[in-house]
Amino acid sequence: MKSNTTFLALAAVVVGALAVPTMSFAQKKPATKKPAPKAAAVTYKTVGPTITKTCAGCHTGAAGKAGLDLSTYAGIMKGNKEGKIVMAGNPAKSMLCTVLHGKPKLMPPKHAVDAKTIAVVEAWVKGGAKEK
């Protein structure tokens, strides 16, 4: 049984010799850094249903008030014959947002929307008014 024992001892040394570099490699491997999670961008997918619910009652299709169709992404981005109401990246210049603050004050009282809705609409415009 002596040769067997020798073989086992040798095997242990070999395994050990292999294991050491493997382990040190594993230790040297830089800790994989996960990128900080980004806040999910607001897209039309997120904000669309809110705009539809709040605005499309009066602004839908060709007969929409002020010539605006706020029931679709294309309609919102198109604006009306007076121009665009969304300046991607710039809520302060986007009528879609400013009307929510009563500017211009042509809005019937029903334009009043809660702060949370205003915030999400503005975040969407600020983020580039992306469809998806």
Residues that bind ligand HEC (CB under 6 A): 54-55, 57-59, 65-66, 68, 70, 80, 82, 85, 95-96, 99-100, 106-108, 110-111, 113
Cβ-closest residue to ligand HEC?
A: 55
Pick from 117, 41, 39, 131: nearest CA to 96 = 117
Cα angle at 82 between 47 and 60, to 5 degrees? 45
Q: Which long-range contacts (CB under 8 A, 24 or more apart) does 21-27 make?
A: none
Residue 51 tokens, joined:
């705009």
- Residue 132 Cβ vs ligand HEC, minimum distance, rounded to whole Å: 20
Closer by beta carbon to ligand HEC, 45 or else 103: 103
- Residue 36 Cβ vs ligand HEC, minimum distance, rounded to whole Å: 33
- Residue 126 Cβ vs ligand HEC, minimum distance, rounded to whole Å: 15
Residue 115 tokens, joined:
């702060």
